[in-house]
Amino acid sequence: MSQSLIIVESPTKVKTIKKYLGADFDVKATSGHIKDLPKSSIGIDIDNNFEPTYTVIPSKKKNISELKKAARSADTIYLAPDPDREGEAIAWHVAQEIDTSKKDVYRILFNDLTKQTVLASLTHPGTLDTKKYDAQQTRRMLDRLVGYQISPILWEKVKRGLSAGRVQSVAVRIICDREKEIQAFVSEEFWTITALLDGKNPPPFEARLIKIAGKKAKISTGEESETICDELKRTDFIVSSVTKKETKGQSPPPFTTSKLQQESSRKLRFSAKKTMSLAQKLYEGIDIGTEGSVGLITYMRTDSVRIADEALNNARAFIAQAYGDAYLPPSPRRFKSSKSAQDAHEAIRPASLSHPPGDIKQYLGRDEFRLYQLIWNRFIASQMKPALFDRTTIDITAGPYLFRAAGSIMKFPGYTIVYNESRDKDSPEPAPDDNLGVTLPDCSEGETVRLSALTPQQNFTQPPPRFSEASLVKELEEKGIGRPSTYASILSTIQDRKYVALNEGRFHPTELGMVVNDLLVENFPNILDVQFTASMEENLDRIEEGTLSLLDALRSFYEPFQSELNHAKKNMRNVKREETPTDITCDKCGSPMVIKWGKNGKFLACSNYPECKSTMNFVLTEGGKIEKSKPESTDVVCDKCGREMIIKEGRYGRFLGCSGYPECKHTQPLTTGIHCPNEGCGGLLAEKRTRKGKTFYGCTNYPTCKYAIWNRPIKEACPLCGFPFLVEKNLRSKGASKACPNKDCNYSEAL
């Protein structure tokens, strides 16, 4: 009989922890949250001090039964969900559901899943943390109060199915505000002038005009540039100063959650969601052969750059052995966390340095290996000596004009032999290796240099860039919106709700996103205020610290929010009822068409409704002119009336509809012409769409046949195994390819 029960959050951890402990320990998993506020109602008694009602999540009833059964056989229960607020809530809810009478119940925390950490936690167990649980409850209730009371207003005023979120809506606002900046931006012409110069000593070098008469150079037109160039050709170029100095490029600190998501996006092209999913696997344990399942990194949700002394010493020993003492600083490098950091956990680092990425590559998936290597390299680099550069700056005067040349030569690579931090292409921040490799000649002050050429260059000011995943995470972190555990879900949620779209790596607000954002900003100025949202995050931290109560936080929030709610119910624009006149006439009755909002966005509708129910889609030309969308024709004939079937767009994807609508309402699936591979089925694969808008290809005989694939099928048999069709894949790393969907076949060929 097991004497002790350990309850963790993820089933993956069970295998890892069991390996470290003997038969006296049973290990079970909750598989995430087991209780939550009910879906069918708000679940908060606002008039009774915001008393919440938590109910068991229906899909977790079996989990709870298993936990109760295991608890009955145990004398000691260790609650070990993840070491954050969400994990604390899970631990509390488990304690509420299982019978803990006559049991010793403890709370234990694992910063990593190494044997040493697990055993140490059992040796020094703690108790449930009321303050951390209150902070999670407050966050959950705030989100529910906002979502369940604003969303119905959006259903009434815009369309059903819309939702608002306390944090996600602010993220959408940040993207929409940037889009408005871009739309309002007026590009201005400016010119730069570069001089090619020869001194007494080689090599020739380039210098850029930076000042005119002591002020920053501002050249607005080509004519002005030409006048300056003509003047410069008649002027002597004299070296006014030469500055040489050694500069250091310090290594970056180990990863926090947000920095991991940013670098993973820049270097590996991973989404924030994918990064966190891979990091979770690395934390929970990977089977690495004879050692079995091993947790490879520390806990991946953290805003701290703190490193344990033992880990620092291990890193220094590794560096001395692998790279030599020349790369080892005299003492360990310690980094200071930001003021807002909770500092509950260490930075993200390898759990042990006994598993270098190259040694265990064979046990990791390709993406798991790349992320583990990124975390490993960043951590090792953080404890190495800085890179050293010789930087030279030469200023040259030509009458009232000042030119500058800059060069940088690396003297010692330091940490850069292991790791270089990436930057967004549009980042204004200078890098320590700017102008690296630019060699300047030995010059002396007062030396006259010869002008070989002048190059005027026309430029135009650029609007602020749209956010990438990396730069949006950085913006959210800097503004105090959300916390490390929420960045990935924020980015996923705003895309799932169709408020923004990620096109070519940049966030663009959709038309729906802009409309909803404008309505929310106008009617809920507090909820959509960045500073207000950041202050609420600070309040959650204060609750966890014990300096603010749950009830005080909720009361201070709800009073102004209730006022905004009442105002919005009465005064928010009703977009559903708005009609914008157009000069397009109805094909059915000749009445003017108007633009209206529907469940799939804007469309053209006959102004003679309900007598005439004609509708159609439209497009906006570059000049802003409204034009009818021409239906995509096919050679398929309607089975009911003999008219042509046309391709239409619906809630669940594209389909074939009769061109005689509304007289004939016949529809049928838009098939690929490829038969379902299930034996005896006889159906065809048709293009479909999930509730969240993702395209897939499923059998037309659904639900009798449930065959479905994500990738577009190609009408071509596999040359290796003979499978009746191939599928198109498009991977960032490999580009477009055609591959066999048969899991037992490895055929793949570039398209």
> Catalytic residue positions?
299
Cα 211 to Cα 196: distance, rounded to the nearest angstrom: 17
Regarding beta strands 4-8 and 25-29, do their DSSP bridges make them parallel or antiparallel, or are they unpaired? parallel
| Nearest in space to 406 (alpha carbons), one of 518, 567, 241 | 241
Question: Using an 8 Å Cβ cutoff, are 379 and 349 in contact?
Answer: yes
Which letter does DSSP use for residue 60 in this model?
G
| Nearest in space to 302 (alpha carbons), one of 281, 322, 283 | 283
The burial class, CB within 10 Å (0-12 / 13-18 / 19+), for 399 is middle
CA 50, 52, 58: angle at the middle one, nearest 5? 160
Give Dmax (Cα) for the chain.
97
Identity of the residue numbered 404: R
Give the distance, in angstroms, between the CA of residue 6 and the centroid of all CA atoms in the same chain: 33
Q: Which two tokens stand for residue 553?
A: 């936080």
Regarding beta strands 695-699 and 626-628, do their DSSP bridges make them parallel or antiparallel, or are they unpaired? unpaired
Question: Using an 8 Å Cβ cutoff, are 100 and 77 in contact?
Answer: yes
The helix or strand, by DSSP H or E, that contains position 561, with its residue range, turns out to be helix 550-571
Cα 490 to Cα 492: distance, rounded to the nearest angstrom: 5
Q: Which two tokens stand for residue 125?
A: 């167990």
Cα 59 to Cα 67: distance, rounded to the nearest angstrom: 14
| Nearest in space to 528 (alpha carbons), one of 264, 150, 59, 231 | 150
Cα 174 to Cα 424: distance, rounded to the nearest angstrom: 18
Cα 394 to Cα 504: distance, rounded to the nearest angstrom: 40
